[in-house]
């Protein structure tokens, strides 16, 4: 296709993109939830485009008692049904609070396509895919909910989200606090923007997570890069790599940068989803997958054999995959790639010394050029810092920031409480937004404790909400 | 032109529109100020349009000491030079604080036209005229100032504004509190939106201001409508009205609704600009113009003669006007009329019983239709309440809301303090944002006191800013 590949880090940004749903308009596949739609503006902030579209949301009123809170998941980059399936906290807390549970889909994902099949055609159709527009959608949705669902008129609304959805949960409280009484922002890397977080930090934590999971494991990974590059210089070496990784297509010298990117991404993702029980978040994996991967890596005599075995664990745990395809992105569709090329510029780099990765600089100019060639738009790398307050969020209130210490994205998150009502929770031995996932006997104690703390804070905010409105 | 007139209330919204500047790019005509420009996005919130334009701002660093505060006037609907000339508070406070004074022009006014002469051509060009885009311009400007003006890196920025500019000053602190340490929002009618303020309230206060200024004055105005309407039913009566009001064009029966609108607007504006000294805000007027108008109204035997004399005071105080033209709007250009037809929907109505006006209902459907016929866009009447928090602004901080009790717009303003840092000041005997105007010996004591209180609060916020950043 002649497309230049977008540099590594931008792919990485698509960290929790699940399979995108097809465009068919069908009922919910999630038991207990009804599918509804709200009509919203394609462009909330100008009158040059007056088009509207239907935004999907899923409602579960099983436990709702009139006047009880509304727990609203601010959907991120994927079909909203997948987030219902991967999120447990809202519905598990609902009976205690008599809460309505709602999952709102993010525009340009799942069924919420402003221009149907044409949504990805060109910048004129795709350009309205921004977080600010999405927050305005959710604001309109909350107004709509209160007007259409009996018993919610006086309900406090709490926003929940993980990862990019966690950023949205934090941001909606910052930008629309009259509509949202408080937020739980899990793994919300709101500080992971240019100029306010060191781009190497992510790589450090990913390396640390591997270190924790297997003595000597990061060192072997670090040593693998030269071995792999050397193999890539000769035809026999390329054939060996093709065979060891069970690649679908014979490797050429030109493919070597792709192979390296693919492996770098692999390790970074492993650290992200290092859950304590078998899960199928981005891919089916066993419990503590980083430990499993490190066991494979450290138990092979040959460095590349170990690395290849760990790759196959990720891509073929179920044994259904005939061969590995390094040209396939790990996750995620066009929409997130576009967001990562426009506003969600979250730099990641590595130096090969303080981390287990090859040296990869953060090169904004090259990144911008690749984005332009792919999407015909240039990134606005500093806009998110202006729009969402950079590191100076002290004027905000009623946000819980929860973070797993295994999760490399935690480096861009709020790790220390900033006030009585900007509460940071760090969960030991926890990966990416583990607290949001369904409870499991294997959850570490830190996560069990975090969920109890989150519920207690929300209870307090509900009381404050009612005492303020009756005053 | 076949254009339908926009209903009364929308014209009224253009309450402080000054003469719009021409499009020529020239230096400032205001002594002490330099003209500068910052490049900003036409559309900050989507990537469908990547155009940029030059936003004008005026800088006065006469009193600036490095590290001192930046006093930023968030310009409203007019050429920014006119706001410099009509605003005294910033520059009068500057020496005491060692402050930089900056006046930022609002997009689509003065020289800050995103598409030059084409800016008003059609919705595709004009559609980016919204308050949210303007706030983002100012946010970008603040980032730009800190990058380009030595000594402002650690400066707290305070936003100042009156009327619509006061709304912007409040809203920028609400939406971008990391960039703005506090705001003085004078005559900021942020509650004057559909559903959150009674549309009759404005008319009540306008009537009260006339009552204060002349016993029996509102009663005569109230009685004038039937007399005028009766005269409008016959040819001799129409000739009499044409003569009494010295109209440029002979009045016809069809013109009668226009005449009534024109008079309703006249009284509403009088109340607005009832300053204690001769001023030239919208028009040259003597001190306490409502009192002067009431004296004319109550001293004539004939009701219509008195009304006509008061009209001539407004339009011809200097004696330079040959005749009065009821087809001319009082103020304001296309840009504000467009804003009043899109987002700035601030309903005003009257019942003719509790106020001195004829009964004028607030008719959203008719209003919407007139806007569509004029601009090819429909109002989004409830969007401002969603975007700017309705009456529930308690999550905000560090905003002073100052209000004059003569000013009918005060009914949509914050009249009671909501917290230690959301401070309301009501100034007795003061008209529209009198505190912002240059000091004058005739200022009522309430205004002198308000300015001292404002300075004291800003001083406190500067201290808090520095103690927070050095913590």
pLDDT digits (tens, 9 = 90+) for A154-203: 999 999 999 999 999 999 999 999 999 999 999 999 999 999 999 999 99
- Rounded to an integer, the average pLDDT of A70-81 is 97
Average pLDDT for B390-409: 97
CATH of the domain at A29: 3.40.50.1820
Per-residue pLDDT at B320: 87
Overall average pLDDT of the A121-133 stretch: 96
According to DSSP, the β-strands at B284-285 and B279-280 are: antiparallel
Alpha carbons within 13 angstroms on the beta-carbon side of residue B222 total: 19
The contacts of residue B277 (CB under 8 Å, 6+ apart) are B287, B440, B441, B442, B443
User: Residue A332: its pLDDT value, please?
Assistant: 62
Higher pLDDT: A143 or A470? It is: A143
Q: What is the mean pLDDT of chain A?
A: 92
Q: What is the DSSP letter of A7?
A: P
| Within a domain: A163 | yes
A46 vs B127, B396, B468: nearest CB: B127
Pick from B123, B125, B178: CB nearest A389: B178
Identify the pLDDT of residue B8.
38
Please state the rounded mean pLDDT for residues A344-356.
96
Contacts of A140 in chain B (CB under 8 A): 386
How sure is the predictor about B28, in pLDDT bands with cuts at 50, 70 and 90? low
pLDDT of amino acid B282: 84
Q: Give me the pLDDT at residue A109, please.
A: 97
The pLDDT assigned to A16 comes to: 35
The DSSP secondary structure of A300-348, one letter per residue, reads -SSHHHHHHHHHHHHH-TTS--SSB-TTS-SS--HHHHHHHHHT-----
Residue A127 in contact with partner chain B when CB distance is under 8 A: yes
Model pLDDT for residues A270-289, shown as the tens digit of each residue: 999 999 999 988 889 999 99
Give A464's DSSP letter.
Answer: H
Cβ–Cβ gap B47/A130 under 8 Å? yes
Decide if pLDDT at A115 tops 70.
yes
Given the residues B112, B131, B163, B183, select the one marked as catalytic: B163
Q: Which of A82, A407, A435, A443 is flagged as catalytic?
A: A407
Q: Does residue A30 or residue A259 have the better pLDDT?
A: A259
Residue A321's pLDDT band, with cuts at 50, 70 and 90, is confident
Q: What percent of chain B has pLDDT over 70?
A: 93
| Residue B404 falls inside a structural domain | yes
Residue B7 is predicted with a pLDDT of 34
B300 occurs within a structural domain: no
ipTM of the complex: 0.92
Asked if the C-beta of B297 comes within 8 angstroms of chain A's C-beta atoms, the answer is no
Chain-chain contact of B47 with A123 (C-beta, under 8 angstroms): yes
Average pLDDT, integer, range A72-98 = 97
- Quick check: B209 pLDDT over 90? yes
Q: Note down the domain range covering B177.
A: 9-194+388-469
Strand, helix or coil at B158? strand
C-alpha span between A453 and A465 (Å, rounded):
18
pLDDT mean over B18-43: 71
> What is the number of structural domains in chain A?
1
Cβ-contact A412, A192 below 8 angstroms: yes
Q: Is the pLDDT of residue B21 over 60?
A: no
Q: What is the pLDDT at residue B288? A: 97
- Contacts of residue B123 in chain A, CB cutoff 8 Å? 47-48, 50
pLDDT the model gives residue A318? 86
Show Cβ contacts of residue B226 under 8 Å, excluding neighbours closer than 6 positions. none
Q: How confident is the model at residue B334 (pLDDT cuts 50, 70, 90)?
A: confident
Sort out which chain B residues have CB atoms less than 8 A from A43's CB and list them.
45-46, 48
How much is the pLDDT for B3?
33
- Helices and strands in chain B: count of H runs, count of E runs: 16, 10
The model's confidence at residue B27, banded by pLDDT at 50, 70 and 90, is low
Q: Identify the burial level of B254 via C-beta atoms within 10 angstroms of its C-beta, where 0-12 means exposed, 13-18 middle and 19 or more buried.
A: exposed
The predicted-structure confidence for B62-101, as pLDDT tens digits, reads as follows 999 999 999 999 999 999 999 999 999 999 999 999 999 9
For residue B128, give the chain A residue with the closest CA. Answer: A46
pLDDT band at B247 (very low <50, low <70, confident <90, very high): very high
Q: Do B130 and A178 touch (CB under 8 A)?
A: no
| Confidence (pLDDT) at A36 | 97
Q: Of A315-319, A324-328, B108-112, where does the model show the most confidence?
A: B108-112
- Measured in angstroms, the CA of A307 and the nearest CA of chain B are apart by 41
Is B183 catalytic? The answer is no
Who wins on pLDDT, A123 or A401?
Answer: A401
Please check whether residue B60 lies inside any domain of the structure.
yes
Give the tens place of pLDDT for each residue, A11-61: 333 333 333 333 233 456 789 999 999 999 999 999 999 999 999 999 999
Flag whether pLDDT at B15 surpasses 50. Answer: no
Q: What is the pLDDT of residues B131-143, one digit of tens each?
A: 999 999 999 999 9
pLDDT at B1: 31
| pLDDT of amino acid A29 | 76
| pLDDT for B306 beyond 60 | yes
Is A416 an interface residue toward B (CB < 8 Å)? no
- Work out the pLDDT band at A4, boundaries 50, 70, 90: very low
| Helix spans in B418-470 (H) | 445-469
B7-11, B279-283, B368-372: the lowest-pLDDT one? B7-11
Testing the interface with B: which of A171, A379, A395 to mutate, by most B Cβ within 10 A?
A395
- Active-site residue flag, A106: no
Model confidence at A408, pLDDT cuts 50, 70, 90, reads very high
Instruction: Assess whether pLDDT exceeds 80 at residue B464.
Output: yes
Looking up tokens 């040059």 gives A48
| Both tokens assigned to B305 | 């003669």
DSSP, residue by residue, A158-214: EEEEETHHHHHHHHHHHH-TTT-SEEEEET--TT-STTTS-TTHHHHHHHHHHHHHS
pLDDT of residue A3 exceeding 60, the answer is: no
The pLDDT tens digits of the residues spanning A443-459 come to 999 999 999 999 999 99
pLDDT tier, B404 (very low <50, low <70, confident <90, very high otherwise): very high
The answer to the question of residue A214 being in a domain is: no
Give the total residue count for chain A. Answer: 471
How high is the pLDDT of residue B179?
98
Please check the confidence at residue A143 and state whether its pLDDT lies above 80: yes
Whether this model's pTM surpasses 0.90: yes
Task: Decide if pLDDT at B194 tops 70.
Answer: yes
Confidence of residue A328 (pLDDT cuts 50, 70, 90): confident
Q: What is the mean pLDDT of chain B?
A: 92
Residue A79 covered by a domain: yes
Separation of alpha carbons A205 and A120, rounded Å: 35
Distance CA B191, CA B419 (A): 17
B128 with A48: Cβ contact below 8 A: yes
Does residue A273 sit within a domain?
A: no
Query: Is position B211 within any domain?
Result: no
Question: Whose CA is closest to A79, among A15, A23, A141?
Answer: A23
What is the model's pLDDT at position B266?
Answer: 95
Predicted confidence (pLDDT) per residue in B421-436, tens digit: 999 999 999 999 999 9
Q: Is the pLDDT of residue B20 over 60?
A: no
CB spacing of B47 vs A127 below 8 angstroms: yes
Q: Is A342 on the interface with B (CB under 8 A)?
A: yes
């Amino acid at each position: 296709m002649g497309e230049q590949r977008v540099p590594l880090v931008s792919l990485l940004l698509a960290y929790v993109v699940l399979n995108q749903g097809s465009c068919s308009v069908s009922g919910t596949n999630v038991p207990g939830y009804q599918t509804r739609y709200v009509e919203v503006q394609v462009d909330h902030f100008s009158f040059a485009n007056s088009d509207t579209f239907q935004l999907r949301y899923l409602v579960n009123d099983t436990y709702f008692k009139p006047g009880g809170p509304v727990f609203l998941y601010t959907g991120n980059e994927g079909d909203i049904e997948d987030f219902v399936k991967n999120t447990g906290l809202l519905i598990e807390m609902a009976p205690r609070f008599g809460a309505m549970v709602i999952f709102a889909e993010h525009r340009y994902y799942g069924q919420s396509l402003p221009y149907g099949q044409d949504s990805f055609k060109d910048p004129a159709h795709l350009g309205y895919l921004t977080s600010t527009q999405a927050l305005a959608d959710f604001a309109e949705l909350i107004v709509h909910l209160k007007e259409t669902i009996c018993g919610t008129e006086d309900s406090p609304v709490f926003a929940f989200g993980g990862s990019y959805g966690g950023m949205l949960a934090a941001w909606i409280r910052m930008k629309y606090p009259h509509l949202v009484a408080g937020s739980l922002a899990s793994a919300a890397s709101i500080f992971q923007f240019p100029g306010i977080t060191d781009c190497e930090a992510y790589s450090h934590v990913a390396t640390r997570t591997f270190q924790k999971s297997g003595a000597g494991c990061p060192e072997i990974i670090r040593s693998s890069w030269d071995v792999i590059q050397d193999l890539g210089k000769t035809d026999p070496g390329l054939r060996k790599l093709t065979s060891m990784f069970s690649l679908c297509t014979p490797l050429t010298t030109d493919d070597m940068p792709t192979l390296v990117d693919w492996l770098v991404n692999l390790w970074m993702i492993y650290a992200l989803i290092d859950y304590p029980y078998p899960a199928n978040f981005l891919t089916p994996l066993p419990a503590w997958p980083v430990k499993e991967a490190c066991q494979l890596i450290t138990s092979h005599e040959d460095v590349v054999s170990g690395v290849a075995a760990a790759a196959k664990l990720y891509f073929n745990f179920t044994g259904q995959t005939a061969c590995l395809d390094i040209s396939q992105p790990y996750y995620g569709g066009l929409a997130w790639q576009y967001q990562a090329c426009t506003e969600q510029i979250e730099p990641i780099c590595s130096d090969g010394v303080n981390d287990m990765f090859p040296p990869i600089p953060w090169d904004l100019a090259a990144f911008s050029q690749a984005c332009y060639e792919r999407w015909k738009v240039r990134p606005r790398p500093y806009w998110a810092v202006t729009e969402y307050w950079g590191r100076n969020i002290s004027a905000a209130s009623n946000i819980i920031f929860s973070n797993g210490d295994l999760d490399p994205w935690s480096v861009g998150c709020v790790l220390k409480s900033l006030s009585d009502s900007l509460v940071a929770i760090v969960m030991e031995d926890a990966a990416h937004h583990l607290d949001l996932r369904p409870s499991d006997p294997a959850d570490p104690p830190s996560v069990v404790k975090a969920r109890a703390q989150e519920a207690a804070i929300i209870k307090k905010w509900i009381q404050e909400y009612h005492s303020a409105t009756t005053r």
